[in-house]
Amino acid sequence: MTVALTGTEAEAHHLDRADPGHRELFHIPPAVGGRYPDTAYLAGNSLGLQPRATREQLLADVDAWARLGVEGHLDAERPWLPYHESLTGPAARLVGAVPAETVMMNSLTVNLHLLMVSFYRPDGRRDRIVIEDSAFPSDSYAVRSQARFHGLDPDRAVVRLDPGDVLDYLAAEGDTVALVLLGGVNYLTGELMDIPAITEAGHAAGAVVGWDLAHAVGNVPLRLHDWDVDFAAWCTYKYLNAGPGAVAGAFVHERHLGARDDLPRFEGWWSTEAGTRFEMAPVSRPPATADAWQVSNPPIFAMGPVRTSLELFDQVGMAALRERSLRLTGYLARLLATAVPDGAFTVLTPADPDRRGCQLSVQLRGCSAEDLVERLSRRHGVVADARQPDVVRLAPVPLYSTHHDCWRAVEALAAEL
Ligand SMILES: *Cc1c(COP(=O)(O)O)cnc(C)c1O
């Protein structure tokens, strides 16, 4: 039966019945156009959808403030003082860390800066930062400003490489590299880097290796501790569905934790041991955990949605999500290869499933990405996202996307191209 149905809408429904995912746990935005009531939402790599459980948890935190005032720090059902600690365990499981290595705080680029304060230590000839040439702009600006902060010329100190050239560069010029900072999954191409191999090569060259996991966390399984990654940071509003601007995560490997006076760090009252915080002492006593990188008291109302999201990932498990992700993205790749007129686009994302997460990036020929994405939404209820001038990103998210969403996206592309 499946063979006869290949590429049809009936086949998509058939596959969804066998492999339903967890769509019922999310709000799916209604479609503005097309013949289906809901959007085919393939933009979860940009902003994840809202879990149905989020609203109630968020309101419970707001209500605690109304009821308890300042007493909520200790007496709320989820007390505010240790609130961030309740996120540490599930966050650590998601990135393959021990709990002491993980903290949820701030936003992604802020965390990259706080971590680079500690881990970008230019020293004589060894002062370069290696990033990928297609790095997300925020990362580019962050590393350039770090170079300037150290009195260096960013045009010289920041080296932009094709990801495929990083290992060769480290072998040839490694003694000039202070820091390698790459995206675990590239935001534009969807390519999944060989995180353990690059980390090992960076260390062999004597460099520190950090990872921006914005497009990797909640998308592919991670084992940061075992891979010996020095530090990492990620946001939670993409695959983690914690809402726009939600509180981000940070990882510092165990071997960098503890009282080390030689490790610079920007501190505040949340950098000191929780038990000493209210001693109001003039000198901090940082804990031997990633909590030492915190600065301020956390935004509680922004933490609730992160908590809801991390609990969901804990329940479903990243291994099961990756299995489903391989099926969904494989299905989308097969449809793209057959259904759309030859030469209308090329898929930028590696064809090997081991070298990608759920996102497929399509590079258009002779057509503006922004214009196409607008038509996909208005005429077909398909939500994708555009990266100017000519890249459209399609991300079937294993928690809530369906085979039918993929089918709708490809049908709409075939109609519009
Ligand atoms: C989404 C994304 C960011 C966004 O940074 P914020 O600090 O969360 O605004 C940064 N870097 C990468 C690689 C991203 O994908």
Q: pLDDT tens digits, residue range 186-225?
A: 999 999 999 999 999 999 999 999 999 999 999 999 999 9
Please tell me the distance between residue 137's alpha carbon and the centre of ligand 1 in angstroms.
Answer: 8
Please tell me the distance between residue 15's alpha carbon and the centre of ligand 1 in angstroms.
Answer: 34
Ligand 1 contact via 216 beta carbon (within 6 Å): no
Please tell me the distance between residue 248's alpha carbon and the centre of ligand 1 in angstroms.
Answer: 10
Distance CA 146, CA 190 (A): 26
Name the residue of 104, 235, 361 whose CB sits within 8 Å of the most ligand 1 atoms, as the mutation to test its pocket.
235
- Name the burial class of residue 143, with classes exposed (0-12), middle (13-18) and buried (19+) by CB atoms within 10 angstroms of its CB: buried
Alpha carbons within 13 A on the beta-carbon side of 102: 23
For 242, the 3-state DSSP assignment is coil
Please tell me the distance between residue 279's alpha carbon and the centre of ligand 1 in angstroms.
Answer: 36
* Nearest atom of ligand 1 to the alpha carbon of 212: 13
Q: Which of 40, 42, 369, 37 is nearest to 238 (CA)?
A: 42
* Nearest atom of ligand 1 to the alpha carbon of 139: 11
Residue 104 φ then ψ, to 5°: -100, 125
Q: Where are the beta strands (DSSP E) in 42-176?
A: 102-104, 128-132, 158-161
Ligand 1 contact via 136 beta carbon (within 6 Å): yes
Q: Which of 324, 330, 348 is nearest to 397 (CA)?
A: 324
Please tell me the distance between residue 217's alpha carbon and the centre of ligand 1 in angstroms.
Answer: 12
Pick the CATH number of 9-53+317-416 from 3.30.70.260, 3.90.1150.10, 3.30.930.10, 3.40.50.1450: 3.90.1150.10
Residue with CA at minimum distance from ligand 1 atom 13: 136
Q: Tell me which DSSP letter residue 191 carries.
A: B
Higher per-residue confidence, 250 vs 1: 250
- Per-residue pLDDT tens digits for 74-132: 999 999 999 999 999 999 999 999 999 999 999 999 999 999 999 999 999 999 999 99
Percent over 70 (pLDDT), the chain: 98
CB neighbourhood size of 74 (10 A): 11
Place 4 in a pLDDT band, splitting at 50, 70 and 90: low
For 346, the 3-state DSSP assignment is strand
Percent over 90 (pLDDT), the chain: 91
How many residues are listed for the chain in this entry?
417
- Per-residue pLDDT tens digits for 323-354: 999 999 999 999 999 877 778 899 999 999 99
Ligand 1 contact via 109 beta carbon (within 6 Å): yes
Supply the angle between the helices 318-339 and 300-316 in degrees, to the nearest 10.
80
Residue with CA at minimum distance from ligand 1 atom 14: 214
Sign of CA dihedral 255, 260, 265, 267: positive
| H helix or E strand, kind and range, residue 345 | strand 345-347
Q: Mean pLDDT throughout 29-40?
A: 95
For the question of whether the overall pTM of this predicted structure is more than 0.75, the answer is yes
Please tell me the distance between residue 143's alpha carbon and the centre of ligand 1 in angstroms.
Answer: 13
Q: Is residue 132 within 8 Å of 176, Cβ to Cβ?
A: no
Ligand 1 contact via 357 beta carbon (within 6 Å): no
Residue with CA at minimum distance from ligand 1 atom 2: 214
Q: Break the chain into its structural domains and give their ranges.
A: 9-53+317-416, 82-314
Question: Facing residues of 392 across strands?
Answer: 362, 386
For 43, the 3-state DSSP assignment is strand
Separation in Å, CA 414 to CA 4, 57, 345, 385, 407: 20, 42, 11, 17, 11
Residue type, 357: G
Please tell me the distance between residue 144's alpha carbon and the centre of ligand 1 in angstroms.
Answer: 15
Of 279-288, 297-306, 315-324, the range with the lowest mean pLDDT is 279-288
pLDDT the model gives residue 6: 79
Ligand 1 contact via 235 beta carbon (within 6 Å): yes
Please tell me the distance between residue 67's alpha carbon and the centre of ligand 1 in angstroms.
Answer: 36
Please state which architecture CATH assigns to domain 82-314.
Answer: 3-Layer(aba) Sandwich (3.40)
